[in-house]
Amino acid sequence: MGALLAKALVSGLLIALISEIGKRMPTVAALVASLPLVSVLGMILLWRARPDAENMAVHAQATFWYVLPSLPMFLLIPVLLRHGVGFWLSLGLGCALTVALYLVTARFGPSLGIRL
């Protein structure tokens, strides 16, 4: 239980840090947010729980393929905001697009030889 709380605390601190940086320097906050910190922390914790090279290789490769369908969200949201669409609707539509693209990736990735 202590390990779970520590993981939650580290994750919360990262989000809080990005939020605070973003108040003054949105571009720097975006850079910090774009770093694969969560993925790297996840891999470290996964490795500690199950030090298996093949399992880690599958995890890292699947992470790559699942990052790709999330990227269009970061193009859609600013376009919508700049065209007068409200923040919450823009965010919701961006998330919906990401979910749709995740489903497409999960459905068609394996048939294209992508191991997920």
pLDDT (tens digit per residue) in 8-58: 898 889 889 999 999 999 999 888 888 888 888 889 989 999 999 999 999
The 10s digit of each residue's pLDDT in 84-95 is 999 999 999 999
Task: Read off the pLDDT band of 102 (50, 70, 90).
Answer: very high
Q: Do the domain assignments include residue 65? A: yes
Entry pTM:
0.77
Structural domain containing residue 64: 52-116
Q: Do the domain assignments include residue 89? A: yes
Q: Do the domain assignments include residue 7? A: no
Q: Which residue has the tokens 């108040």?
A: 23
User: What total number of domains does the chain contain?
Assistant: 1
Distance CA 41, CA 26 (A): 23
Two tokens, residue 74: 């970061």
Q: Show the 3-state SS of the chain.
A: CHHHHHHHHHHHHHHHHHHHHHHHCHHHHHHHHHCCHHHHHHHHHHHHHCCCHHHHHHHHHHHHHHHHHHCCHHHHHHHHHHCCCCHHHHHHHHHHHHHHHHHHHHHHCHHHCCCC
Q: Do the domain assignments include residue 106? A: yes
